Amino acid sequence: MLAASIIRLKSRDLKQLEQLLSDNCLPQQDCAEQLQHFHGLFEAKQLIAAGAIEPAGTCGLLRSIVVDQGNRSQGLGCVIVEFLLQRARSQELEAVYLLTETAGSYFKKFGFVVIARDQVPDTIRNTRQFDSLCPQSACCMQLNLKS
């Protein structure tokens, strides 16, 4: 695995983030307005993995988990997800939600369970990712962070 630190992305990283998401068929339309929530891993100066938890009230939306095609199978996605979930716990969020079309079984490994979209709190439902950027066909999942 790559020995690197996860860092908060800055405005200079926006174009790389948008390109990485686009290359992997993920929505990037609201990255500029949500950039402060994104973290990533770099190899030299190239962004190779990223993701975010967009806060929404007492919950968060795990979004845009992406690893560059050439850097897959190294556990980088897992590193990003675990980092973001730890941040969510430290921020005392009650639950984290996500939408996915292809990675439902992957996120089950972290404890996420499939739920109906109508079970999602309004604060999450009103995010741009949930409301309009992700298709209605995407699987909705939840991870409860409160014991």
Q: What pLDDT, on a 0 to 100 scale, did the predictor assign at position 137? A: 75
Q: What pLDDT, on a 0 to 100 scale, did the predictor assign at position 1? A: 44
Tokens of 67: 């690893």
Q: What pLDDT, on a 0 to 100 scale, did the predictor assign at position 127? A: 84
Distance from C-alpha of 14 to C-alpha of 5, rounded to nearest angstrom: 18
CB 44 within 8 A of CB 54: no
Whole-prediction pTM: 0.89
Tokens of 78: 């897992």
> Over 80: is that where the pLDDT of 33 sits?
yes
pLDDT tens digits, 97-145:
998 888 888 999 999 999 998 899 989 888 877 776 666 778 899 999 9
Q: What pLDDT, on a 0 to 100 scale, did the predictor assign at position 122? A: 87
Could you give the domains of the chain? 7-144 (3.40.630.30)
Q: What pLDDT, on a 0 to 100 scale, did the predictor assign at position 134? A: 67
Distance from C-alpha of 51 to C-alpha of 63, rounded to nearest angstrom: 6
DSSP secondary structure of the chain = ------EE--GGGHHHHHHHHHHTT---TTHHHHGGGEEEEEETTEEEEEEEEEEETTEEEEEEEEE-GGGTTSSHHHHHHHHHHHHHHHTT-SEEEEEESS-HHHHHTTT-EE--GGGS-HHHHTSHIIIIIS-TTSEEEEEE---
CB 142 within 8 A of CB 99: no
pLDDT tens digits, 61-80:
999 899 999 888 888 999 99
pLDDT tens digits, 17-28:
999 999 998 888
